[in-house]
Amino acid sequence: MDSDSVGGVDRRRLLGWGGLSAAGMVSAGAPLLGARPARADAAPTGSGVPADTRPGGAYDRYMAKLAAEGRFSGVVLLSHRGRTVLSRCYGMADEERGVPNGEHTAFSLNSAGKPFHAVAILQLAQRGLLRLSDTVGTHLTGYAREIAEQVTIHHLLTGTSGMRTPDEDVQRVFQSRKEVHEFYERWARQATPEAPPGTPSSHSGAEVAIPAQIIEAVTGQSYWDYVQENIFERCGMDGSGFYTRPQWLTDRRIAHPYMALTDGGHVDAVRHLDQGSSDPYVLGKNPGRAFIDAPGDGGFATAPDLVRFARALGDGTLLDRHYAELFTGPKIPLAPEGGGLARRAAPADASFGAYQMPVGLVGGQWVWGRAGANPGVGAGWTIYPDTGWVGVILTNRDGAPLWEILEQETRAVIGPGRGAGTADRYASGQLRSSR
């Protein structure tokens, strides 16, 4: 492969990934009925901006219809080569206080935040502080011998550790950062070998927790502090962070998650920990039960901040070129999957697992990204490096068809008939909603 390309992407295109210039940021306007443009839409012109991506285009109309039907509350954003083409905000961030969602509202990312720990690991590898071939036991103690001696960091980042992690205590409500940290440290050490390293691992939670522990062992910082300083702050992601439940309750900039009730209503999950369902799974996945997201997972971000993250991956802010290539490069082939999250059998042209996210070819173009959904929350960010597009979808209410929205976004960016494989890429790429 030419050293000036990334997976078929010209280096000059890589440096032109979508983003937002600091001068272009303005505050969201006053709430209006229906769609709320976060700024005056000044769509670029030219063949690089399909009509379906523009204000009033097919994607905009689709999202407006979902919101009008009560099926979407949140923010969607499309950016092309550093300029916002479409930005729409719907619904309420906090119904009780009458706070509307806006472009600068921070949403819970759940699994869409997992790639942050992969970027952090690659930063440390780039500095020579660890190797991707290091085993778990190189940096940590207290793990089963087979895991400590045979499972490598590469296995963890690709989801091929062969480990099994015990189920979590879904009834537990955490009260402090220290309690969260200690719990997940003990929980990860209960992982057991289930298959030889190199075997896909049925979404083992330890594959998320162990890299975070390695980051802490190497740097002497908490995972949360390291990512805040070396990813969020470096990218200028001023609205992003690992917020605690007290912050979630009091900060008007953070969207509350609204979980569906059996009677068709919704409940504010962050205010009402144990309401919404008697199902232990739903109770356990209630995002309001957490004090802070587990190390290696989650976080909160605004839509413009996720575009900044995408831009920083391509311009050398986060990783040198070869490590950026390593982050997004295809690692393992993924079989096409129909049904499930995708609800259809039409696959991407080709799908691969990269580091904590899937990548794929859709319509002859690379598509990179990560998504995640739990009751009351959903998030997805997608990079289209061949053409400089970035798409963000953030929602805070049950009922949003996240995977269908992802398909519509890809169809708008790449062209008619090209979005159907996107949901399959996410499903095949292990974009599961939790640990």
Q: Would you say residue 318 lies in a domain?
A: no
Q: Please state the rounded mean pLDDT for residues 372-389.
A: 95
Identity of the amino acid at 66: L
> In this structure, what token pair is assigned to residue 107?
């949403």
Do 224 and 240 contact (CB within 8 A), yes or no? no
Report the half-sphere exposure of 300 (CA within 13 A, side-chain side): 25
Q: Would you say residue 215 lies in a domain?
A: yes
Q: Return the HEC string of 307-376.
A: HHHHHHHHCCCCCCHHHHHHHHCCCEEECCCCCCCCCCCCCCCEEEECCCCEEEEECCEEEEEEEEEECC
Q: Would you say residue 143 lies in a domain?
A: yes
CATH for 182: 3.40.710.10
The kind and range of the H/E element at 395 are strand 389-395
Q: Please state the rounded mean pLDDT for residues 234-254.
A: 97
Residues ≥6 apart with Cβ < 8 Å to 211: 117, 118, 120, 121, 153, 156, 157, 296
Q: How far is CA 250 from CA 55, 244, 268, in A?
A: 34, 10, 13
Lowest mean pLDDT among 293-297, 318-322, 383-387, 419-423: 419-423
Predicted model pTM = 0.85
Q: Would you say residue 136 lies in a domain?
A: yes
The pLDDT of residue 418? 52
Looking at the predicted structure, is the pLDDT value of residue 427 above 80?
Answer: no
Which residues constitute the domain of residue 129?
A: 113-240
Looking at the predicted structure, is the pLDDT value of residue 209 above 80?
Answer: yes
The pLDDT of residue 13? 33
Looking at the predicted structure, is the pLDDT value of residue 159 above 50?
Answer: yes
Q: Would you say residue 423 lies in a domain?
A: no
Number of H helices, E strands in the chain: 16, 19
Looking at the predicted structure, is the pLDDT value of residue 9 above 80?
Answer: no
Q: Would you say residue 154 lies in a domain?
A: yes
Lowest mean pLDDT among 263-272, 357-366, 395-404, 423-432: 423-432
Do 425 and 348 contact (CB within 8 A), yes or no? yes
**Which is it for strands 99-100 and 83-90: parallel, antiparallel or unpaired?**
unpaired
Domain count, the chain: 1
Q: Would you say residue 176 lies in a domain?
A: yes
Q: Would you say residue 74 lies in a domain?
A: no
